[in-house]
Amino acid sequence: METKEFEKLVREALGLIPPEIRRHLDNVDLVVEESPTNEQLVGSGIEKDHLLLGLYEGLPLTERSDYGMVLPDKITIFQKSIEEICTTHEEIIKEVRETVVHELAHHFGIDDDRLEELGI
């Protein structure tokens, strides 16, 4: 899939987030990269044989008390990782949506353990 098309899917996924939630997104960038860098892999704490689909980097809203002039949070969606686990266009769309929601949840301070409980 072309990067442009993939980026469009990511924007659409963001558009599906209910407005009342989207409105609370504060200082966060959503970007697409082909694959994670080594640094991102290490930072994510993912196991060696796992694919990193998306990554949240930043300070969750729940941990911001004295939050001033800092770089925006960044959510990265990794195109090649997602394409690797999907065979159809529909699967890619579904996976992009789930990954965007998962990483946004981190922005709101929900950790992976809790997300697993919620099945997200």
Q: Does 111 bind Zn ion (CB under 5 A)?
A: no
Kindly state the smallest distance separating residue 9's Cβ from Zn ion, in Å.
19
Strand pairing of 54-57 and 73-78?
A: antiparallel
Beta bridge partners of 33: 78
Pull the structure tokens for residue 78: 């990794």
Which residue in the set 112, 113, 116, 118 belongs to the binding site for Zn ion (CB under 5 A)?
Answer: 112
Segment interacting with Zn ion, rule: CB under 5 A, options 34-42, 63-71, 84-92, 105-113: 105-113
Quote the tokens at residue 79: 């195109």
Chain positions contacting Zn ion, by CB under 5 A: 112
